[in-house]
Structure 1
Amino acid sequence: MSVAPMMDWTDRHCRHLHRLLSRHTLLYTEMVTTGALVHGDVERHLRFGEAEHPVALQLGGSEPADLAHSAKLGEQWGYDEINLNCGCPSERVQRGAFGACLMNEPQLVADCVKAMVDTVSVPVTVKHRIGIDKVEEYGFVRDFVGQVADAGCTVFIAHARNAWLKGLSPKENREIPPLRYDVVAQLKKDFPHLTIAINGGFVADASVLEQLDVVDGVMVGREAYHNPWWLARWDELFYGDAPNDLTRELVEERMVDYMEYEAAKYGTHWYSIARHMLGLRNGLPGARRWRQVWSDHRLKHLPAREVMQIARTKPAAAAAQAEWAEVQGQ
C-alpha cells in the first residue's frame, strides 16, 4: 500500500499524520523538481522526519544529469526510494518538458532512469499513466514499460487513466478519462518479473483487496487525504498485523505533540499542520463542528493544545466568537 504524491497535500506534516495511522504504508513526497534542488533550498525541499520511513522522494525532471544529481541528494537525505514523475498532466509541468508528456519519449525516460540507477543504491521507480490523450492502444504503455525496464527500473506505478495533455485541467484528468484497470492487469501478465502497482479511484477495502489479487500494490490518493482514518485499518488488512489500539482522539493528541515540536524547533505554526487532519473525524457526529474549530483563523493566536480542548468541548461558532471577543477586548 502507498499514498500517492499530491502537490500541496503530501508535505511532511501530512506524512507525519499518515505514519501515525499506518506503520507500513509507503509514503511519497510532493513532486520536487530537479530545478528546485539544483538551484534552490535543498533543505527546505528534502527535510523530513525520521518517523516517516518508509518514504519515497518523487522527482520531476527530464535531464538525466540533473535527475542523477537530485536522486543522489535524495539518497543522502535518507529517502528509501526515488520516483520519477511520468504522470502529471498539468500545463506547468508540460512547460518543463516532464511529467506525463515524457511517456511520448520512452528512450529519454530510459536514459533518465539509467542515470539515476547508476548513481544511487536505493530503488528507482516510475509513476506513469496508461496512455496520452486519446491514444488508448495497449501497445503504447506496454512498450513504454518495456523500454524503461530495460534501463534498470523494476517498479512501475500505473495511474489507470490516460492523461489528456490539452483540454483538461489536472483535476479533470483525475476524473474524466475512464479508469481501465484491465490495462494494468495486462501489464502484470506481460511483465511478471516487474513490480506493478495500480493507482486511481480507490475508496474502499473491497476494491483494494480485489486489485491485490491481480497486481503487486495499490496506491491511494485523494481518499487517503480526505478520509485519513481509513489508513488506520491498513496494517491489519493488508499487512497481517494485529489490530491497533488507535483512536481518533489519540491521533489528534499525537498531532498536537507534533505541532508543539515543530513550533519549538522550526517556528512552524500549528495552523499549517492542522489542515491535513481535517478529515480525521469524517462520518462521525460533530465532525463538522470539530473541523470548524481546527480551521478557524480566529483561533490562530491560541496554542494548539487549547484549540484541541475547544474542538472537543465547545461548538465551533460559540468558541470562535468567545475567543474573538476576548482578543478584541484586549
Structure 2
Amino acid sequence: MSFVPSPIPFAADSGPSRRFCVAPMMDWTTPHFRYLARVLSRRALLYTEMVTTGALIHGDTERFLRHDPSEYPLALQLGGSHAGELAHCAKLAQQFGFDEVNLNVGCPSDRVQNNMIGACLMGHPDKVAEGVAAMIAATDLPVTVKHRIGINGRESWDELCEFIETVAAAGCKTFIVHARIAILEGLSPKENRDIPPLKYDWVYRLKQAYPHLEIIINGGIKTFEDCHEHLAHTDGVMLGREAYHNPWLLADVDTEFFGEPAPVTSRHDALRAMFPFIQQELDRGVYLTHMTRHIMGLFLGQPGGRQFRRHLSENANKPGSGLEVVEQALAKVREPELITES
C-alpha cells in the first residue's frame, strides 16, 4: 500500500509528527526497546513509560529521564494531578531534551488511582485542565493528553465532550484517545485493555465535532490496513502491544506513512545496528537480560525465531553474559537471502 496523506488537515504547532506513534507502556517502552524502535523507524513518535511526578521530584530524576539522543522524536509521559508538580516536571522534560510532554489520563490501575493519577482523572476535567494550563505555562514543549473515552459512571458522549472542551479551553490541542472506557473497579489493567468494547466511531465523532483539535486514535490497532482506515477519520494512530510484540512492523512505517525510505532492510541489520548500544549499556553495568527481553519479538514468525528466543532466554541472564550471547542467538536465524534458496 502506498503513502496516502491524511485527508483531514490539522495546523499543528511546531513539534513532532503524531501521524504514527508507539504507545507508552509500563515495563515495555524502556530506553532499550525505544532504541530498537528507532533503528527500525526514524519517523514514529516514541513515548516513555509513564513516570510519576513524585518519582521525578523525590527520586532519581536522572535515571528516570535518561535516554539516548538517537531516540528523538521522543515524548515524556507524566502521571500526576498536582498542577505545581506537573509544571515542575514539564520544565524537566524540556531541560532533558524531550519533544513533547504528555499527561496520562488513561491508566486504570488501583495503585495510581489512589494517588489521583490516570483514568480516574476523567471524572475531574477541571483538575486536568488546571494541570495542563500549568504545564503549558512552564514549558515551550507541546503538552498533550492521553485518555479514555470515559470511565464507569461517566461514560456518556456528553461527558466525553465536556472533558475535551474543558481541557482544550486550558490550551491542550492534542488528544490521544484510547477508544475504550476504563472500569475502575473490578477489572485489572490487563482486562481494561481487552474487555470494555472498542468504540472507534466515538473517536471519529470527536474529530468531526472538534476539527480544530488534533485527535490521535489508540486501542486494539494491529495492521497497517487498520491504520489507514483510522487515518481517514483522525489525525494519527498510536499502536501499543502490536508494535512491542512484533517490532519489525515498525520497519515499514517510514515508507508506508511518510513516503520515506526504510532505515533498515533486514532484521539482522537492525539487530547488528544495536550492538554498539548494547555494549555501551553492558559497560555501564546494565544486565544483558534487561536489554534482550525487548528484542524477543524481532524474529517473530521467522525460521529460527524460536531458537533465537530460546537462546536468549536461557543464556542472557547468566552472570557475565555479554554481546556474544546475542551474536550466538542471531546466528540461529538465517539471513533473508538464504531463506529463499532452494
Shorter chain as normaliser: what TM range? over 0.9
Larger helix share, 1 or 2: 1
Picking from 314, 319, 324, the partner of 1:296 is 314
For the residues of structure 1 that align with 2:78 and 2:33, how far apart are their CA atoms? 18
5 Å matches for 1:161-200?
A: 161-200=180-219
Matched, 1:160 2:179: yes
Instruction: Give the structure 2 partner of residue 115 of structure 1.
Output: 134
For the residues of structure 2 that align with 1:200 and 1:258, how far apart are their CA atoms? 31
For the residues of structure 2 that align with 1:230 and 1:170, how far apart are their CA atoms? 25
Question: How far off its partner does 1:208 sit?
Answer: 0.4
The one-letter code sitting in structure 2 at the alignment partner of 1:292 is R
Picking from 68, 77, 80, the partner of 2:87 is 68
Q: Which moved more, 1:306-315 or 1:50-59?
A: 306-315
5 Å matches for 1:260-279?
A: 260-264=279-283, 266-279=284-297
Structure 1 residues 283, 115: closer, same or farther in 2, change over 3 A? same
5 Å matches for 1:118-137?
A: 118-133=137-152, 135-137=154-156
Structure 1 residues 243, 60: closer, same or farther in 2, change over 3 A? closer
For the residues of structure 2 that align with 1:42 and 1:129, how far apart are their CA atoms? 28
Identify unmatched segments of 5+ residues in structure 1: 316-330
TM-score (norm 2): 0.89
Structure 1 residues 110, 180: closer, same or farther in 2, change over 3 A? same
Over the aligned positions, Cα root-mean-square deviation in angstroms equals: 1.4
Question: How far off its partner does 1:242 sit?
Answer: 2.7
5 Å matches for 1:1-330?
A: 1-133=20-152, 135-264=154-283, 266-297=284-315, 300-301=318-319, 303-313=321-331
For the residues of structure 2 that align with 1:213 and 1:117, how far apart are their CA atoms? 30
Contact kept, 8 Å, 2:80 with 2:86, in 1: the verdict is yes
For the residues of structure 1 that align with 2:304 and 2:230, how far apart are their CA atoms? 34
Contact kept, 8 Å, 2:150 with 2:180, in 1: the verdict is yes
The one-letter code sitting in structure 1 at the alignment partner of 2:277 is Y
Question: How far off its partner does 1:18 sit?
Answer: 0.4
1:101-159 deviation per Cα after TM superposition (whole angstroms, max 9, x unaligned): 00101011000000000010000000000010154311111110111000010000000
Instruction: Give the structure 1 partner of residue 12 of structure 2.
Output: none
For the residues of structure 2 that align with 1:106 and 1:314, how far apart are their CA atoms? 53
Q: Secondary structure at the match of 2:293?
A: helix
Contact kept, 8 Å, 1:84 with 1:125, in 2: the verdict is yes
Q: Provide the aligned length of Structure 1 versus Structure 2.
A: 314
For the residues of structure 2 that align with 1:245 and 1:269, how far apart are their CA atoms? 26
For the residues of structure 2 that align with 1:179 and 1:198, how far apart are their CA atoms? 11
The one-letter code sitting in structure 2 at the alignment partner of 1:56 is A
Q: Secondary structure at the match of 2:139?
A: coil
Contact kept, 8 Å, 2:289 with 2:317, in 1: the verdict is no
Instruction: Give the structure 2 partner of residue 319 of structure 1.
Output: none
Contact kept, 8 Å, 2:268 with 2:330, in 1: the verdict is no
Contact kept, 8 Å, 1:134 with 1:162, in 2: the verdict is no
The one-letter code sitting in structure 2 at the alignment partner of 1:230 is L
Question: How far off its partner does 1:25 sit?
Answer: 0.5
Structure 1 residues 212, 166: closer, same or farther in 2, change over 3 A? same
Contact kept, 8 Å, 1:196 with 1:216, in 2: the verdict is yes
Q: Secondary structure at the match of 1:56?
A: strand
Q: Secondary structure at the match of 1:29?
A: strand
For the residues of structure 2 that align with 1:177 and 1:224, how far apart are their CA atoms? 21
For the residues of structure 1 that align with 2:332 and 2:90, how far apart are their CA atoms? 48
1:56-79 deviation per Cα after TM superposition (whole angstroms, max 9, x unaligned): 000000100000001101110001
